[in-house]
Amino acid sequence: MAETLLEVKDLSVVYTSEEGIARAVNGITFSIDRRQTLGFVGETGAGKTTTGLSIMRLLPEKAGQVEKGQVFYRGEDLLRLPESAMRELRGSRIAMIFQDPISVLNPVMTIERQIKEVLEAHDDHSGTNMEQRVDNLLKLVGIQPDRKKDYPHQFSGGMKQRIVIAMALACDPELLIADEPTTALDVTIQAQVLDLVEELKERLGTSMMIITHDLGIVAQVCDTVAVVYAGEIVEQGTVRDIFEGRRHHPYTEGLFGAIPDIKSEARRLSPIEGAMPDPLDLPTGCKFHPRCRYCTERCKTVHPPVCRVGTHEIACHRFKEE
């Protein structure tokens, strides 16, 4: 049996501001097994980053608040851990690559110094050769170790991205949460970073949660997929369930319509009509109903239950458990 590493249960998160209460995450449940990669997909504003930050306990103080739910890591609820224990865990067992990763780099410090700082912050084996470890990390992400005395501006965008990945991997995390690891990069470099991610998965056995808009990325590197809409998971399953299954949530159908078809010459992009609902004022019933072409009266008032067939779950009134 696969060993569960992370289990998020019925997580809800709100942001409070002068405008009101934004319900960014609404009862999300998923898990990641050891050595598995989960793709967390959905349009902008779906609540993907908020979910990642909640797991790391890095929500903006005051504004962001977990309203309910649990985040079990190896069976222990991270949301109940004292801050000191959480700080220990962050970086050493769970690491996150943020949405704007390059801004994490300090422009006036050599990359060697920056990687060493990460190593020192979590060092449990003092005496091991720091130089060697920096070199190994740089090699791992495909950067010549003799460039370690260079400053961030001396590297290209893709290389900076890989340096950030090296920093995230410095303490051999068991789980890596990567928030849009490639969006800021051009297509060729995107492919390089993805190849790197895949290699790391193979070589280090790191479990990952990859947050992205891009179903192409998911197809390339993920084992399982959760499709997020208005703070809920509307569909989840194995990559096979999502890419080859016959039945899908209408939102996933829409997202699939939005992937350029590699085979067709037109490379048609067909974004879903309408916009993600405002988390300050979410629709009743199914949150997707105002944009759904299959919408019925029931969809407008009754929240759809999750229908599960094998590993595939869909939250839509059109489907019933088999």
Ligand X SMILES: Nc1ncnc2c1ncn2[C@@H]1O[C@H](COP(=O)(O)OP(=O)(O)OP(=O)(O)O)[C@@H](O)[C@H]1O
Residues lying near Ni ion in the complex (CB under 5 A) are found at 48-49
Which residues 51-80 are close enough to bind ligand X by CB under 6 A? Answer: 60, 63-64
Long-range contacts of 120-124 (CB under 8 A, 24+ apart): 121/91, 122/88, 122/91, 122/92, 122/170, 122/171, 124/92
- Closest by CA to 233, choosing from 22, 36, 31, is 31
- Please give the single-letter amino acid code of residue 139: K
- What minimum distance in Å lies between the beta carbon of 287 and ligand X? 12
Residue nearest to Ni ion (CB): 49
Q: Is 279 in the site for ligand X (CB under 6 A)?
A: yes
- What minimum distance in Å lies between the beta carbon of 99 and Ni ion? 5
Q: Is 85 in the site for ligand X (CB under 6 A)?
A: no
Alpha helices by DSSP H, listed for 4-121, are: 48-56, 83-92, 111-121
- Select 45 or 152, whichever has its Cβ closest to Ni ion: 45
Q: Is 47 in the site for ligand X (CB under 6 A)?
A: yes
Query: Contact 233/227 with Cβ under 8 angstroms?
Result: yes
Q: Is 2 in the site for ligand X (CB under 6 A)?
A: no
Q: Is 181 in the site for ligand X (CB under 6 A)?
A: no
Which residues 188-247 are close enough to bind ligand X by CB under 6 A? Answer: 213
Q: Is 44 in the site for ligand X (CB under 6 A)?
A: yes
Contact pick of 5, 8, 12, 15 for ligand X (by CB under 6 A) = 15
Q: Kindly write down the DSSP assignment for every residue of 132-186, as one continuous string.
A: HHHHHHHHHTT--GGGTTS-GGGS-HHHHHHHHHHHHHTT--SEEEEESTTTTS-
With contacts defined by CB under 6 A, name the span among 48-56, 124-132, 138-146, 216-224 that binds ligand X. 48-56
What is the rounded distance in angstroms from the CA atom of residue 80 to the CA atom of residue 86? 9
What is the rounded distance in angstroms from the CA atom of residue 182 to the CA atom of residue 220? 13
Q: Which residues bind ligand X (CB under 6 A)?
A: 15, 17, 22, 24, 42, 44-50, 60, 63-64, 99, 213, 279
